[in-house]
Amino acid sequence: MELTWIQFAVILPLVGLAGFVDAIAGGGGLISLPAYMIGGLPPHAAIATNKLSSCMGTSVATANYIKKGFVNWKYAGAGAVCALVGSSIGANIALMISDHILKVAMLFLLPAIAVYLAKKKDFSPIGSEPSEKAKWLITAAAGLIIGMYDGMYGPGTGTFLLLILTGFAHMKLTEANGATKVINLTTNVASLAVYVLNGQTIILLGLCAGVCNMIGNYLGSNFFSSKGAGAVRPIMFIVLGIFFVKVLYDLHLFG
């Protein structure tokens, strides 16, 4: 598709912001995917191109967290292997769904995600401390299930993983964030391969946006702290609102 400088001017800064948000608390896709669609890309191309820029950005945050010692490979490795399978399946399912169906699905997904973010305000543990085996199984299952979701759609993947790993696996926020980045990078790479092979990815735009996402991830991963999640929540809600109005307009239900 032919792109204009206005599309680049809209998409690139938002994708950079998404990288910053994603490195801190996950959920960067809640900003980056809407950015591509607000910029005029159809759903399949938006999801596919978002995977390219996300791969580039997440690799920076992942490397930074490995360097800082946040990654426990016993759990992160299990989640990544399962995520590889789940993401490939999810991406193939997404390619079989029409653009119109994806947009209709977003009418329900976006409010649901907004409500979820409004209700779940922290990363506190749920229930009693799981055994080592249970912790491993929880991480593996999260990788498979959230991996499928990420391959199909994606926004909120990092946040969902953080909430599961801290809530049910009782990981410390630093360890959970390290595992989340490894799993998320795996899902992005696996689904990107499927989209590239099917000609859905806009390479030039994805690479340019990817550089912005890398800068955002680098700054965000260095800024990371337990209070970081609260700082970006208002931004997520604003972008979700803009995206929702855009979907309504595209479906001729508004404007």
What is the pLDDT, as a whole number, of residue 226?
A: 46
Contacts of residue 238, Cβ cutoff 8 Å, sequence gap at least 6? none
Contacts of residue 165, Cβ cutoff 8 Å, sequence gap at least 6? 75, 138, 139, 142, 171, 175, 176, 179, 180
**How far is the C-alpha of 161 from the C-alpha of 158, rounded, in Å?**
5
**How far is the C-alpha of 162 from the C-alpha of 52, rounded, in Å?**
22
Largest CA distance in the chain: 54
Give the pTM.
Answer: 0.79
Q: Where are the alpha helices (DSSP H) in 39-167?
A: 43-67, 73-95, 99-119, 132-152, 157-167
What is the pLDDT, as a whole number, of residue 121?
A: 63
- Rounded average pLDDT per 10-residue block, the chain, 255 residues: 87 92 76 89 91 91 89 96 94 85 78 74 77 95 93 79 89 90 93 92 95 90 61 65 74 68
